[in-house]
């Protein structure tokens, strides 16, 4: 298997997860990287991606696993045949599938446009209840791991996987409380077993 | 100037399917610096437009001359409103260039209900809708092409040039002349109006009699359709952009043939794309291989009006299987029941098969020159069932000339026979039959161009009967909406007076009329009423001696041939395929079949 890290920028952040899967599969077909297929009547290529960030959130830290026997220049070929916003940043061979959808437990983001506030104020809260996209009240405080300012950019780390918190939801909460408008959110790092 | 989509980030994150508007498709290619900029505008949503092969062929014809060719599609309401709010003009996808800055913006008119989308796109781009309003301003040439261009009169007041016929060369020829003349000068229009396939509405005046009917044309009174004789050497994009999101036909498409030998009397495409021209097996094989390699698609669709009539289909399939990767599947979406062959269908996904008997009885099928028998329908279904298919889609029309209740009852009979064929052998799954019935719309350049469209009351009565007849286990019925059919009929056979109605409807918010959820029948009715025009004037039966709005356009089909075919229809006489006998349609000198070359 080949584990690879890739971007989702330059317009690719607006793709749905299914469309992104299709693009990566087609990139590999064009590049001649043959994916193994599942067994069964409707065989499908064995490609595994981490949980997607929300549509509109850019990323330079996405991870995927391709079940393939390919042993050539994966990064070079992938990038030669991929759309401009989906670029491979690195790849490594693995005996097992790290299952990034589960193994990534936290992600760090940078956001621009949120009005300045005291990060300790947020981290000092015991509970932060927001309404999620399904209309449910949700205490997001346990899923906020770090918040700090780097000049006028907000750097924050949120739970992923089973403790996932959407970066855009968090930014909406911050902007609703402190003002501003998150113009651009980029996932800059993923934390968890198997990431590189 | 280019539009900075980075500044549209908040808009993009708030709309449905934002990747429709971002560009960046793999394989998209538009020159940033070129002597001429062409924008291929498709008046429907991205996922519909990206499936269209014709627009890609036209864009390729510009690229081959060293010109820049980009794409633009109709934005959905949410994005369109957002653009207006942000004060950003509609832009092309690759260059992010506002439409108003192109030299030529071409709309591909695939169906009549997209006319308001064209106005919507012009409006969003800040380009005045009417030709007269653009006069003297620095605006691109607004041009149209596609099947609806054979009767461009309803939209003639909005456009500068209409391309009629094959778009492989004449569109780019016009760009050459534009550059030679230094722009859209009088000399430019004089020169292009002499080309086959070019209609300049400003150079033709329509004369109306007191009763509102057309009594003549002045100015340029004959416009010939452009016909490409040799498809093998015609421009074809060997690489194509891969859509950002799943498109309606998410696969590689090759055009096996253009035109159809059959001459079904209701089918406009069967007449306006004559004569039948084919690509060679070698050409199609390299086109398919190139597309699969450059796109990464897993499926190739062999398109034409009737792919089963391609004489070397077996050879083509063998060649494709030998040369394409083993996991690439072939789709043959246009197989007639009498050309259905187990070998051809083996490659398709064995789920559902579509047949189009069009009419329920042999008599009515003979009227429309469908030239297939009940036995052929049942035998094709049997072959499909034996290969594992367990679902059949059947397409019919209601409102065909001479139709009676017995013809509708015939639809039920076909369903019963198909069920009987399925149940004659033990099968694992239950059979599903989907019957789709559309309302017949008479179209220009067909033998039925003089026919009336049936009234709303008649449609409702026939739909009620069909619902009763087909309320049976395992059969689902889908009926087309009359309200869109009547508008389609009015626009298809309309004249220049309809431009005010279209503009009025657009100003009342009508866009995306082809999408039934978006169609606003009340607004269209008001638009007609406010312009003092009744749709009935356009859906009525036309006299054979009447001057029709499209009579000055010469698609190559002899009007007397259409009249002969109309008479044959009323006698339920089948003319048959051009492969069996030439029926002297008027294109004999350009038709390989008529010359005995096929």
Q: pLDDT tens-digit profile of A60-118? A: 999 999 999 999 999 999 999 999 999 999 999 999 999 999 999 999 999 999 999 99
Q: How far is B23 from chain A (nearest CA, A)?
A: 7
Confidence band of A134 (pLDDT split at 50, 70, 90): confident
- Residue in A with minimal Cα distance to B9: A183
Cite the beta strand spans of A75-179 per DSSP E: 88-93, 104-114, 129-131, 137-139, 144-150, 153-159
B10/A181 touch (CB, cutoff 8 Å), yes or no: yes
Q: Report the chain A residue with the minimal C-alpha distance to residue B328.
A: A29
Domains in chain B: ranges and CATH: 5-224 (3.40.50.280)
Q: What is the H or E stretch that residue B300 is in?
A: strand B299-303
- Is A26 in Cβ contact with B296 (below 8 Å)? yes
On whether the pTM is more than 0.90, the answer is yes
Q: Do A83 and B24 touch (CB under 8 A)?
A: yes
- Angstrom distance (rounded) from CA A137 to CA A131: 4
Distances, alpha carbon B287 to alpha carbons A185, B227, B235, B282, in Å? 42, 21, 11, 9
Query: Does the structure show a pLDDT above 60 at B144?
Result: yes
pLDDT, tens digit (0-9, with 9 covering 90-100), for A33-54? 999 999 887 788 999 999 999 9
Over the Cα atoms of chain B, what is R_g?
Answer: 24
Query: In this complex, which of A28, A56, A85 lies closest to B12 when CB atoms are compared?
Result: A56
Nearest CA in chain A to B290: A30
**Which pLDDT score, from 0 to 100, does residue B224 have?**
96
Q: Would you say A9 and A85 are in contact if contact means Cβ atoms under 8 Å apart?
A: yes
Please determine, for residue B119, whether its predicted confidence score (pLDDT) is greater than 80.
yes
Among A46, A76, A98, where does a domain finish?
A: A98
- Residue B354 banded pLDDT, cuts 50, 70, 90: confident
Q: Which of A9, A12, A14 would you mutate first to test chain B, the one with the most B CBs within 10 A? A: A14
Of B6, B19, B298, the CB nearest to A14: B19
What radius of gyration, in Å, describes the C-alpha atoms of chain A? 18
Cβ density class A16-55: b for 16+ within 10 Å, e for less = beebbbbbbbbbbbbbebebeeeeeeeeebebbbbbbbeb
pLDDT digits (tens, 9 = 90+) for B51-108: 999 999 999 999 999 999 999 999 999 999 999 999 999 999 999 999 999 999 999 9
Chain B residue numbers with beta carbons less than 8 Å from the beta carbon of A175 are none
Whether residue B593 contacts residue B274, with contact meaning beta carbons closer than 8 Å, is answered with no
Say yes or no: B570 contacts chain A, CB-CB below 8 A.
no
CB atoms under 10 Å from CB of B303, counted, come to: 18
Q: Which domain holds residue A124?
A: 105-192
Query: Can you tell me the distance from the alpha carbon of A186 to that of A13, in angstroms, rounded to the nearest whole number?
Result: 10
Share of chain B above pLDDT 70, in %: 97
Is residue A154 located within the same domain as residue A109?
yes
The residue of B6, B11, B16, B26 whose CB has the most chain A CBs within 10 angstroms, and thus the best one to mutate to test that interface, is: B26
Query: Does one domain contain both A123 and A90?
Result: no
What does the pLDDT read at residue B388?
Answer: 82
Contact residues on chain A for B297, CB-CB shorter than 8 A: 26, 29
The count of other CB atoms within 10 Å of the CB of residue B539 is 22
Residue B334's nearest CA partner among B440, B250, B426, B257 is B257
- CB burial class (10 A; 0-12, 13-18, 19+) of residue A105? middle
* Complex prediction ipTM: 0.92
Is B10 an 8 Å CB contact of chain A? Answer: yes
A17 and A92 assigned to the same domain: yes
In three-state form (DSSP H/G/I as H, E/B as E, the rest C), the secondary structure along B520-572 is CHHHHHHHHHHCCCCCHHHHCCCCCCCCCCCCCEECCCCHHHHHHHHHHHHCC
Phi-psi region of A71 (alpha: psi -120 to 50; beta: other; left: phi over 0): alpha
Are residues A142 and A111 part of one domain? yes
pLDDT in tens, B431-489: 999 999 999 999 999 999 999 999 999 999 999 999 999 999 999 999 998 889 999 99
Same domain as A94, residue A6: yes
Q: Answer yes or no: do B12 and A26 touch at CB < 8 A.
A: no
Q: Does one domain contain both A116 and A87?
A: no
* Backbone phi and psi for residue B218, each to the nearest 5 degrees, phi listed first: -125, 160
pLDDT of residue B347: 54
pLDDT above 70 as % of chain A: 100
> Apex CA B274: angle with CA B579 and CA B556, to 5°?
120
Beta bridge partners of A114: A180
Distance, CA of B479 to CA of B519 (rounded, Å): 16
Chain A interface includes B246 (CB < 8 A): yes
Q: Return the axis-axis angle of helices B482-492 and B498-507, rounded to nearest 10°.
A: 140
Residue B350 has what pLDDT? Answer: 57
Answer yes or no: is pLDDT of B348 > 60: no
- pLDDT for res B422: 93
Mean pLDDT of B193-204: 96
Q: Label residue B349 by pLDDT band (50, 70, 90).
A: low
**Are A38 and A73 found together in one domain?**
yes
Residues A160 and A74 in one domain: no
Residues of A with CB below 8 A from B24's CB?
10-12, 83-85
Contact at CB, A26 and B18, closer than 8 angstroms: no
Select from B480, B524, B474, B516 the least CA-distant residue to B498: B524
Angstrom distance (rounded) from CA A24 to CA A16:
12
CB atoms closer than 10 angstroms to residue B544: 11
Q: What CATH number does residue A15 fall under?
A: 3.30.70.580
Q: Which of A30, A33, A88 is nearest to A64 (CA)?
A: A88
Say if residue B344's pLDDT is above 80.
no
B5 pLDDT higher than 90: no
pLDDT tens readout for residues B150-191? 999 999 999 999 999 998 889 999 999 999 999 999 999 999
Indicate yes or no: CB of A16 within 8 angstroms of CB of B19. Answer: yes
Nearest to A184 among B9, B246, B294 (CB): B9
B25 CB near a chain A CB, below 8 Å?
A: yes
Note the pLDDT tens digit of each residue in B222-242. 999 999 999 999 999 988 999
What pLDDT score does A148 carry? 96
Count of domains forming chain A: 2
Pairwise CB contact (< 8 Å): B246 & A82: no
pLDDT at B27: 93
CB contact under 8 A, A28 and B12: no
H-helix or E-strand spanning residue B397: strand B391-398
* Nearest C-alpha in B relative to A27: B296
Do B273 and B305 form a contact (C-beta atoms < 8 A)? yes
Q: Which residues lie across from A147 on neighbouring strands?
A: A156
Among B178, B179, B152, CA closest to B165: B152
Could B26 and A27 be called an inter-chain contact, meaning their C-beta atoms sit closer than 8 Å? yes
pLDDT value, residue B346: 52
Give the span between the Cα atoms of B549 and B546, in whole angstroms.
Answer: 9
Chain B: residue nearest A21 by CA? B245
Question: Quick one: average pLDDT of A139-155?
Answer: 95
d(CA B439, CA B480): 6
> How far is the alpha carbon of B26 from chain A, nearest alpha carbon, in Å?
5
> Within an 8 Å CB–CB cutoff, is residue B297 touching chain A?
yes
Helical spans, DSSP H, in B17-66: 46-49, 53-63
DSSP code, position B452: P
Q: Which of A83, A98, A113 represents a domain boundary (last residue)?
A: A98
Domain co-membership, A7 together with A88? yes
Domain boundary among A73, A98, A123: A98
Q: Please list every residue in chain A whose beta carbon sits closer than 8 Å to the beta carbon of residue B12.
A: 14, 56
Alpha-carbon gap, residue B160 to B184, rounded angstroms: 10
Shared domain check, A135 and A183: yes
What value does the mean pLDDT of chain B take? 93
User: Given CB atoms, is B26 within the 8 Å cutoff of chain A?
Assistant: yes
- Among residues B227, B228, B205, B224, the alpha carbon closest in space to that of B216 is found at B205
CA distance A58 to chain B (A): 11
Instruction: Note whether B26 contacts A26, CB cutoff 8 Å.
Output: yes
pLDDT band at B32 (very low <50, low <70, confident <90, very high): very high
A69 and A109 together in one domain: no
Q: A111 and A188 in one domain?
A: yes
The predicted model gives B308-331 an average pLDDT of 91
Q: Between β-strands A88-93 and B161-163, what pairing exists: parallel, antiparallel or unpaired?
A: unpaired
Alpha carbon B343 to chain centroid, angstroms: 29
* HEC secondary structure over B318-365: HHHHHHCCCCCEEECCCCCHHHCCHHHHCCCCCCEEEEEEECCCHHHH
Selected residues 481-510 of chain B with any CB under 8 Å from a CB in chain A: none
| Amino acid B384: pLDDT | 84
pLDDT of residue B318: 92
Nearest Cα residue in chain A from B26: A83
Identity of the residue in B10, B18, B296 whose CB atom sits nearest the CB atom of A14:
B18
Residue A151: CB partners within 8 Å, gap ≥ 6?
Answer: none
Helices (H) and strands (E) in chain A, counts: 5, 10
pLDDT at B343: 61
| A80 Cα to chain B: minimum distance (Å) | 11
Cβ contacts of B245 within 8 Å, gap of 6 or more: A15, A16, A19, B17, B19, B20, B46, B47
Residue of chain B whose Cα is closest to the Cα of A14 = B19
Reply yes or no on whether the pLDDT at B335 is more than 80. no
Chain B residue numbers with beta carbons less than 8 Å from the beta carbon of A12 are: 24
Is B54 touching A (CB cutoff 8 A)? no
CA distance B454 to B443: 14
Distance between CA atoms of residues B10 and A155, nearest Å: 20
d(CA B251, CA B300): 6
Minimum Cα–Cα distance from B251: chain A residue = A26
Q: What is the pLDDT of residue A104?
A: 95
- Dihedral angle computed from the Cα positions of residues B264, B269, B275 and B276, in that order, rounded to the nearest 10 degrees: -80
Contacts across the A-B interface (CB distance below 8 Å): 65
Residues of A in contact with B294 (CB under 8 A): 30
Phi, psi of A145 (to 5 degrees): -100, -35
Query: Please, are residues A40 and A95 in contact by the beta-carbon 8 Å criterion?
Result: no
**Residue of A19, A55, A85 with shortest CB distance to B246:** A19
Residue B244: its chain A contacts at CB < 8 A?
11, 14-15, 19
Average pLDDT of every residue of chain A = 94
The answer on pLDDT for A131 being more than 90 is no
- On whether the CB atoms of residues B234 and B228 are closer than 8 A, the answer is yes
Q: Does B295 touch chain A (CB under 8 A)?
A: yes
The values of phi and psi at residue B530, to 5°, are -65, -25
Tell me the chain B residues in contact with residue A16 when contact means C-beta distances shorter than 8 Å: 17, 19, 245
Instruction: Provide the CATH number for the domain around residue A178.
Output: 3.30.70
Contact criterion met (CB < 8 Å) for B245 and A27: no
Strand locations in A9-127 (E): 47-49, 58-66, 88-93, 104-114
Confidence of residue B341 (pLDDT cuts 50, 70, 90): low
Among residues 224-243 of chain B, which lie with CB inside 8 Å of chain A? 242
């Amino acid at each position: 298997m080949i584990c690879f890290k890739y971007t989702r920028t330059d317009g690719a952040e607006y793709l749905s997860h299914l469309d992104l899967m299709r693009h990566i599969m087609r990139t590999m077909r064009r590049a001649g990287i043959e994916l193994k297929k599942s067994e069964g009547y409707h065989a499908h290529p064995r490609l595994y991606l981490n949980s997607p960030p929300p549509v509109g959130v850019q990323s330079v830290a996405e991870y995927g696993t391709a079940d393939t026997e390919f042993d050539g220049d994966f990064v070079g070929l992938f990038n030669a045949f991929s759309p401009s916003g989906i670029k491979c940043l690195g790849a490594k061979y693995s005996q097992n599938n790290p299952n990034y959808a589960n193994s990534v437990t936290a992600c760090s983001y940078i956001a621009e446009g949120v009005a300045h506030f005291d990060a300790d104020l947020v981290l000092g809260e015991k509970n932060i209840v927001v309404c999620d996209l399904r209309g449910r009240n949700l205490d997001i405080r346990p899923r906020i791991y770090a918040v700090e300012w780097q000049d006028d950019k907000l750097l924050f780390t949120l739970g992923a996987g089973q403790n996932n918190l959407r970066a855009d939801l968090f930014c909406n909460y911050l902007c609703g409380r402190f003002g501003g408008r998150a113009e651009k959110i980029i996932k800059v790092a993923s934390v968890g077993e198997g990431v590189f | 100037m280019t539009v900075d989509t980075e500044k549209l980030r908040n808009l993009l994150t708030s709309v449905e399917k934002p990747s429709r508007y971002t560009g960046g498709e793999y394989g998209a290619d538009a020159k940033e610096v070129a002597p001429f900029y062409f924008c291929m505008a498709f008046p429907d949503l991205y996922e519909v437009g990206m499936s269209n092969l014709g627009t890609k062929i036209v864009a390729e014809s510009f690229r081959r001359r060293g010109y820049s060719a980009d794409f633009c599609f109709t934005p959905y309401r949410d994005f369109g409103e957002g653009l207006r709010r942000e004060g950003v003009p509609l832009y092309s996808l690759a260059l992010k260039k506002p439409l108003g800055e192109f030299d030529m913006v071409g709309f591909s008119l695939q169906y009549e209900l997209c006319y308001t989308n064209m106005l919507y796109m012009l409006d969003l781009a800040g380009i005045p809708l009417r030709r007269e309003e653009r006069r003297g301003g620095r605006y691109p040439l607004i041009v149209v092409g596609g099947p609806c261009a054979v009767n461009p009169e309803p939209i003639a007041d909005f456009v500068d040039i209409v391309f009629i016929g094959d778009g492989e060369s004449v569109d780019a020829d016009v760009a050459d002349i534009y550059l030679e003349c230094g722009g859209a000068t009088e000399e430019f229009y004089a020169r292009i109006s002499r080309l086959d396939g070019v209609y300049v509405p400003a150079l033709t005046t329509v004369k109306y009699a007191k009763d509102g009917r057309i009594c003549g044309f002045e100015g340029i009174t004959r416009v010939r359709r452009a016909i490409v004789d040799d498809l093998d050497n015609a421009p074809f994009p060997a690489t194509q952009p891969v859509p950002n999101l799943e498109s309606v036909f998410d696969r590689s498409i090759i055009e096996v043939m253009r035109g159809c030998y059959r001459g079904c009397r209701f089918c406009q495409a069967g007449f306006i794309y004559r004569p039948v021209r084919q690509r060679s097996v070698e050409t199609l094989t390299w086109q398919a291989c190139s597309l699969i390699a450059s796109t990464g698609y897993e499926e190739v669709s062999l398109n034409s009006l009737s792919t089963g009539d391609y004489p070397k289909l077996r050879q083509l399939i063998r060649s494709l299987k030998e040369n394409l990767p083993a996991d690439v599947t072939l789709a043959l979406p246009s197989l007639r029941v009498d050309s259905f062959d187990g070998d051809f269908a083996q490659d398709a996904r064995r789920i559902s098969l579509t047949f189009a008997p069009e009419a329920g009885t042999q008599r009515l099928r003979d009227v429309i020159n469908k030239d297939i028998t009940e036995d052929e329908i049942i035998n094709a279904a049997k072959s499909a069932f034996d290969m594992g298919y367990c679902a059949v889609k059947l397409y019919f029309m209601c409102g065909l000339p001479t139709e009676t209740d017995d013809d509708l009852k015939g639809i039920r009979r076909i369903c019963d026979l198909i069920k009987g064929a399925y149940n004659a052998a033990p099968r694992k799954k239950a059979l599903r039959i989907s019957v789709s019935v559309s309302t017949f719309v008479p179209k220009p350049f067909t033998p039925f161009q003089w026919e009336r469209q049936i009234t709303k009351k008649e449609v409702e009565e026939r739909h009620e009967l069909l619902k009763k007849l087909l309320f049976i286990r395992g059969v689902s019925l889908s009926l087309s909406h009359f309200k869109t059919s009547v508008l389609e009929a009015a626009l298809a056979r309309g004249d220049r007076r309809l431009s005010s109605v279209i503009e009025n409807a657009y100003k009342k918010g009508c866009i995306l009329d082809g999408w039934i959820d978006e169609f606003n029948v009340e607004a269209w009715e008001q638009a007609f009423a406010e312009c003092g025009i009744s749709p009935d004037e356009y859906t009525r039966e036309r006299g054979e001696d009447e001057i029709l709005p499209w009579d000055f356009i010469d698609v190559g089909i002899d009007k007397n041939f259409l009249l002969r075919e109309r008479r044959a229809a009323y006698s339920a006489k089948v003319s048959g395929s051009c492969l069996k006998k030439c029926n002297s349609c008027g294109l004999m000198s350009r038709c390989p079949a008529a010359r005995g070359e096929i």
